[in-house]
Structure 1
Amino acid sequence: MKLRFDASTVFTPGGIIALEKPVLEVVLINETVVVIHDYMAYLQYRPANNLVAYGVGGEALWVAENPTELPVDAYMNVNSETPLIVGNFAGFNCTISLSTGKIENHVFTK
């Protein structure tokens, strides 16, 4: 379920989560808030670790790994919630474990 957000504030059914970095997209899956942070808020010339899961209370659960080490790599959009499939800048659709943030599978799409 997509959640409402404003800049770096996410509005969940349980309250408000204030984050350090701006948000591009956020979804609630079970009790996990999955956030794609704005990749422009990260250091340039290295992959942005911008896919982060939080509990509904705001506690960080995991940071997803990236499928490449390309300096411009970052997650861009949620393509599916069940399973969690997220597209990235390098052209991969990555199936991400909701419990660990590890890549379970990735498919090159470009």
Structure 2
Amino acid sequence: MTYVVTDNCIKCKYTDCVEVCPVECFYEGPNFLVIHPDECIDCDECVEACPANAIFNEDDLPEDKTHFLALNEELAQIWPQICDQKDPLPDADKWDGVEGKLEHLDKSVPEA
């Protein structure tokens, strides 16, 4: 079992979850965060810390968000690990709660 970051994180990228994660299992893309499923210890700290309510326990994923489990695993393999809290994206408040954000996901690998 793992926790899964879903679409409401896209274009927001609050990192409050990163700050509380005891095992540093978050990975960062240009406009989204993911959780590496093999590193997550199911502590639940990230769920309450996420101001966008974008993180779910794998067992509690809404039916329309189940594809995010595979997406988290895929992107955690190519994106760099993030260990420190950063500022959210500039328009995070504007994007929080917007429907249909998956089309805005940038899967590119950030430059080092």
TM over 0.5: no
Q: Which has the larger radius of gyration?
A: 1
* Length-normalised TM-score, structure 1: 0.29
* Length-normalised TM-score, structure 2: 0.28
Normalized per residue, the structure richer in helix is 2
